[in-house]
Amino acid sequence: MVKYDTVLIRYGELSTKGKNRKTFVQKLLSNIKHTLKDMPNLEYRLTYERIYIKINGEDVDLLTERLKDVFGISSFSLTQKVESNIDTIVETCYQASLNEKGTFKVKARRNDKTFPFISDEINRKVASKILKETDHKVDVHDPDFMIYIEVFSDGTYITCNKIQGAKGYPTGINGKCLALLSGGIDSPVAGYLMMKRGIEIECIHYASPPYTSNMARQKVLDLASIISKYQGRIKVHIINFTDLQKAIYDNCPESYAITIMRRMMLRIADIVANKRDCIAISTGESLGQVASQTLESMRCINEVINIPVIRPLVTYDKEEIIDLAKKIKTFETSILPYEDCCTIFDPKNPVTKPTIRKAQELETHFDYQKYIDECVDTMETIIVDCSSKANEDFL
Ligand code: ATP
Ligand code: MG
């Protein structure tokens, strides 16, 4: 019987050259170590092309589940490490094939060029033993199972499985972004997609107590906690938006209230992003989804700041977003019926083609800067961690 003792991790090879490669791999390794930090017996080894983890009796199923969520891994395999000796390799591959059914293909890679057999010879020797001793047949085009062999000078890794990784880049190698997180379906998915591109996120949420409840606030923290598993932990900055929101409704016509509110949200996000060294802002906006997400609206809202605003979902259909939300397990929490600051003050006829000139004119009606300063000054920061639910940790 084969006994899987080592995990072999493959990462995106083409996109990682030179100095970038080193940063990529180091960050990937530290992210992997972070998700597996409660498994003290694991032993890590890094080579130019692979990361190896010696399992040493830790829970293989749990390990596999966790690794599937680490960005930057293209695929990984549970392998058995044996001596780099052709007879041992052939015997182990034969043993491994006994666990499998149907047709097979052998794929050897000779990383140690001093090994006396080239890849093709290894393939043939392994295949002929299996053909002779079992009922398995070879199918090189569409095999039911593969046997992968990687030969190194200090040992050979043998496996029949290849598990798809989460792809993308290791979270954190491409800088930090401030993600606008509401309690809705879209923004947690947008945050997830940012992390997938190697961006670390911090979140900002605008709450309007007492109009928005503690349950609504907890829902946002729970959403952050669900997606925090992709980067370990997430800082959530909560802005008390009530006074500013009231001032908007007191001073602007209802049709422009959402437009002005969004402009204020971005102004606040810009200040917080600067303070927190975030070099971009992200939102869950999707083109045409609601009145405030037409192209004209986006232009009018975007006008107030210069920092890049990234909208990963801009061309997605709602159904595609929902599928992703289900996949990352935020959907059930997102559809809990707690009011958001936008829904509380939901205007009847929001303008779909706001103009910058009109928005600027309306903003002269009140001293919004005073409210913005107050929002930033009273901001509260909470750290959420995937392993422990939101912990109220004031910074
Ligand atoms: P979501 O499902 O993300 O709430 P939505 O379709 O409901 O999106 P809107 O309510 O128009 O869309 O919000 C658009 C985007 O603005 C959100 O995706 C989010 O990034 C941001 N946003 C909206 N409300 C808030 C809030 N209260 N706090 C933080 N960000 C918000
Ligand atoms: Mg919303």
What DSSP assignment string belongs to 148-188?
A: EEEEETTEEEEES--EE---SB-TTTT-EEEEE--SSSHHH
Report residue 392's pLDDT band, with 50, 70 and 90 as the boundaries.
very low
Relative to the CA of 283, which ligand 1 atom is closest? 20
Per-residue confidence (pLDDT) for residue 3, from 0 to 100: 85
Please give the structure tokens belonging to residue 234. 């997430």
Per-residue confidence (pLDDT) for residue 343, from 0 to 100: 62
CA distances 171 to 56, 174, 197, 204, 269, Å, are: 27, 7, 7, 19, 21
**Identity at 83, one-letter amino acid code:** E
Mutate to test the pocket of ligand 1, among 181, 182, 239, 267 (most ligand atoms within 8 A of CB): 182
pTM value is 0.88
pLDDT digits (tens, 9 = 90+) for 263-318: 999 999 999 999 999 999 999 999 986 777 899 999 999 999 999 999 999 999 99
Give the full edge-to-edge strand order of the sheet including 380-385: 309-310, 280-282, 176-180, 200-207, 233-240, 380-385
pLDDT digits (tens, 9 = 90+) for 121-142: 999 999 999 999 999 999 999 9
- Closest by CA position to 316, among listed 171, 174, 193, 206: 193
Quick one: which ligand is closest to 285's CA? Answer: 1
| Residue located nearest, by CA, to atom 31 of ligand 1 | 182
Report residue 391's pLDDT band, with 50, 70 and 90 as the boundaries.
very low
Report residue 15's pLDDT band, with 50, 70 and 90 as the boundaries.
low
Per-residue confidence (pLDDT) for residue 206, from 0 to 100: 97
Per-residue confidence (pLDDT) for residue 12, from 0 to 100: 72
Quick one: which ligand is closest to 284's CA? Answer: 1
What mean pLDDT comes out for the span 19-29? 87
Q: How far apart are CA 145 and CA 211, in angstroms?
A: 58
Per-residue confidence (pLDDT) for residue 388, from 0 to 100: 52
- Closest by CA position to 49, among listed 81, 69, 76, 78: 76
Report residue 23's pLDDT band, with 50, 70 and 90 as the boundaries.
confident
Ligand 1 neighbours by CB, cut-off 6 Å:
180-182, 184-187, 205-206, 283-285, 289-290, 292-293, 340-342
Q: How far apart are CA 284 and CA 289, in angstroms?
A: 11
Relative to the CA of 292, which ligand 1 atom is closest? 11
Question: Which has the higher per-residue pLDDT, 343 or 216?
Answer: 216
Per-residue confidence (pLDDT) for residue 165, from 0 to 100: 95
Q: What is the mean pLDDT of the chain?
A: 92
Q: Which residues pair with 204 in a beta bridge?
A: 180, 237
Among 14-18, 63-67, 91-95, 192-196, where is mean pLDDT lowest?
14-18
CA–centroid distance, 188 to ligand 1, in Å, is: 10
Relative to the CA of 293, which ligand 1 atom is closest? 11
The percent of the chain in helix, strand and coil, each rounded to the nearest 5, is 40, 20, 40
Strand extents, DSSP E, the chain: 6-11, 43-46, 50-54, 73-82, 104-110, 145-152, 155-159, 163-164, 176-180, 200-207, 233-240, 280-282, 309-310, 380-385
Other beta carbons within 10 Å of 349:
9
Quick one: which ligand is closest to 187's CA? Answer: 1
Q: Which residues of 181-203 are buried (b: 16+ CB within 10 A; e: fewer)?
A: bbbbbbbbbbbbbbbbbbbbbbb
**Measured on CA atoms in the order 69, 73, 78, 80, is the torsion positive or negative?**
negative
Report residue 395's pLDDT band, with 50, 70 and 90 as the boundaries.
very low
Mutate to test the pocket of ligand 1, among 180, 300, 334 (most ligand atoms within 8 A of CB): 180
Among 138-152, 329-343, 350-364, where is mean pLDDT lowest?
329-343
- Closest by CA position to 286, among listed 311, 249, 305: 311
Is the pLDDT reported for residue 346 higher than 80?
no
Percent of the chain surpassing pLDDT 70:
94
Cis ω before 253 (30° cut-off from 0): no
Per-residue confidence (pLDDT) for residue 17, from 0 to 100: 64
Relative to the CA of 183, which ligand 1 atom is closest? 4
Report residue 345's pLDDT band, with 50, 70 and 90 as the boundaries.
low
* Under 8 Å between Cβ of 119 and 135: no
* Under 8 Å between Cβ of 264 and 244: yes
Please give the structure tokens belonging to residue 249. 């409704």
Contact partners, residue 271, CB within 8 Å, separation at least 6: 372, 376
The string of DSSP codes covering 232-289 is: SEEEEEEEE-HHHHHHHHHHS-HHHHHHHHHHHHHHHHHHHHHHTT--EEE----TTS
pLDDT digits (tens, 9 = 90+) for 75-108: 999 999 999 999 999 999 999 999 899 999 999 9
Relative to the CA of 258, which ligand 1 atom is closest? 11
CA–centroid distance, 211 to ligand 2, in Å, is: 15
pLDDT digits (tens, 9 = 90+) for 140-186: 999 999 999 999 998 999 999 999 999 999 999 999 999 999 999 99
Is the pLDDT reported for residue 361 higher than 70?
yes
Quick one: which ligand is closest to 191's CA? Answer: 1
Is the pLDDT reported for residue 215 higher than 90?
yes
Quick one: which ligand is closest to 265's CA? Answer: 1
Per-residue confidence (pLDDT) for residue 389, from 0 to 100: 43
DSSP state for residue 339 in the 8-state scheme = P
Relative to the CA of 241, which ligand 1 atom is closest? 27
Per-residue confidence (pLDDT) for residue 126, from 0 to 100: 97
Report residue 341's pLDDT band, with 50, 70 and 90 as the boundaries.
low
CA–centroid distance, 342 to ligand 2, in Å, is: 7
Is the pLDDT reported for residue 109 higher than 60?
yes
| Residue located nearest, by CA, to atom 24 of ligand 1 | 182
CA–centroid distance, 340 to ligand 2, in Å, is: 7
| Residue located nearest, by CA, to atom 23 of ligand 1 | 182
Percent of the chain surpassing pLDDT 90:
82
Contact partners, residue 206, CB within 8 Å, separation at least 6: 182, 239, 241, 265, 268, 341
